[in-house]
Copies of this chain bind each other. A is one copy, B any other.
Amino acid sequence: MSLPLAGITILDLTHVLAGPFCSLTLADMGAKVIKVERPGMGDDTRAFPPFKDGKSAYFAAINHSKKSIALDLKNDGDRAVFERLLERSDMLLENNRPGVMDRLGYGWKAIHSAYPAMIYGSVSGFGQTGPDAKRPAYDMVVQARGGVMSITGEKGREPVRVGASIGDIVAGMYLCQGVLAALLDRTKTGQGRRIDISMLDAQVTLLEHAIALTTVTGKAPGPIGSRHPSIAPFETFHASDGLFVIACGNDVLFEKLCVLLSLPLSDSPRFATNPERVKNARLLKRLIEAVTLDNTRAYWIAKMTAAGIPTGPIQSVDQVLRDPQILARNMVVDVLDKNGRAAFTAAGNPIKMSGAEDRTTRTPAPDLDGNRGEILRWLDGT
């Protein structure tokens, strides 16, 4: 049993969410992550609510399993420590505004020249190039500008933010893919590469069907509530006691649904094929709901599941954290405190891999500068 990134050391200058989300995934796969923070404040998210015993649960959820050292990269003594860390690291991650690392003397060119095998991963709001490279961004700015908000929300109403921070998270995931590909490439070439991820770019990749619709029809889609734009029936339906989801991605599933509901619709030209069902989705929803309103969610979910029709409840987060399937997959883990007691709850590692232990607990999120002594001793080889 070994984790696939055992032996990889990551020097992580990132803060807030996109970069730390990337280094969290790398830590979950076995990498050693040294989080380098500003003295005094540290990562902004240390101040994000909610708090427990004075510590941010938000920070803990994203930064467990990492070590922290506080370094001022404008101070000569701290720079010397940072450079000793660079010598021992496989990868540098940073999410400063483009140009900041160059001014510190730690831009890609300087690092690549001094440490040719170093992978250099950057994530920023708009990327290292282009007219807006130096503008600041947060999750919501790129959700808005990148188009995802324009297709999220109820029809005819104002767009809404995706409740999860996908502006940051998806960018962090691409950074993770890029640095892993670069590590693989380095085994052949011995050379590091620079990865440049833009949060705005990452949002564009989420628009698969929306780009297709816009470019083929000439008209940009708007928000459509809980429907899928290109598949039907694929949305929420009312049962007698609340909402649930039915998702029929092909004709076979639709036929099964018609049989189950005793609604002989699949022979009608209006519903025989998916393109016709998409055209007539509102009528189709009313017809299906006419039947589903007759019984409870639990009844329909059980019956449809038995028939092999994709269905499920809309769960609140507390329900998610108790869901037997999610618990069986070890997707809710305890973040420990220094005394080995469960202190916070975090999402587990979704990358289940043969030969790699799927740990049920996580080492604590570090206090600011909390591992300085340990890290310095490691550098000294003592």
Contact = CB atoms under 8 A, between A and B. Distances in A.
A61 B352 contact: no
Contact of A316 (B215, B220, B235): B220
A193 B4 contact: yes
Nearest to A327: B130
Given A44-B250, A178-B353, A196-B353, A221 B278 contact: no
B154 A211 contact: no
Interface string A135-154: 11111111011111111111
A195 to B, nearest CB: 6
B150 A314 contact: yes
A144 B315 CA distance: 6
Contacts of A296: none
Nearest to A146: B320
B163 A210 contact: yes
A147 B49 contact: no
The 3 closest A-B pairs by CB, nearest first: A151-B163, A130-B328, A57-B212
A260 interface: no
Given A25-B177, A220-B317, A275-B49, A353 B182 contact: yes
A287 interface: no
13 contacts: A135-B310, A149-B226, A152-B164, A153-B160, A154-B157, A154-B158, A158-B225, A160-B223, A161-B226, A164-B207, A182-B353, A204-B350, A220-B317
A273 to B, nearest CB: 7
A312 interface: yes
A233 to B, nearest CB: 10
Given A58-B230, A328-B129, A211 B321 contact: yes
Nearest to A314: B144
Contact of A318 (B17, B21, B142, B220): B220
Given A220-B318, A316-B220, A353-B196, A346 B164 contact: no
Interface residues of A, number: 159
A332 B57 CA distance: 38
A147 B191 CA distance: 42
Interface in A173-189: 173-174, 176-178, 180-185, 187
A144 B312 CA distance: 7
Nearest to A112: B354
A76 interface: no
Given A160-B223, A317-B214, A351 B195 contact: yes
B165 A209 contact: yes
A313 to B, nearest CB: 6
B317 A206 contact: no
A152 B150 contact: no
A51 interface: yes
